[in-house]
Amino acid sequence: AADALAAAKVIAGDVAAIDINMGCPKHFSVSGGMGAALLSNADAACDIVSTLKQNLDLPVTAKIRLLEKREDTVELMQRL
């Protein structure tokens, strides 16, 4: 979350919002714990979103993929 906040602060003055891509399935992203890997680590995903929302004066959004079960998707979205 700290890395995400540091990166967001660098661009905060030049953007209208921060969009976290939790749907990217590319090996580079997933192997680094980013992109779609965040869907398997709800605690980290929620920590990132919460940290950004608490420390930035910008809207924060998250793009995701649907999970295997509809209920799991709804639960994750409610936590985010």
Check residue 49 and give its pLDDT. 95
pTM to 2 decimal places? 0.87
* Candidate list 24, 37, 58, 64, residue with the active-site label: 24
pLDDT (tens digit per residue) in 28-73 = 888 888 899 999 899 999 999 999 999 999 999 999 999 999 999 9
Region 21-26: mean pLDDT is: 88
pLDDT band of residue 24 (cuts 50, 70, 90) is confident
| 64 Rama class: left (phi>0) / alpha (psi -120 to 50) / beta | beta
pLDDT band of residue 75 (cuts 50, 70, 90) is very high
Q: Is 24 a catalytic residue?
A: yes
CA torsion 28-12-19-58 (nearest 10°) is: 160
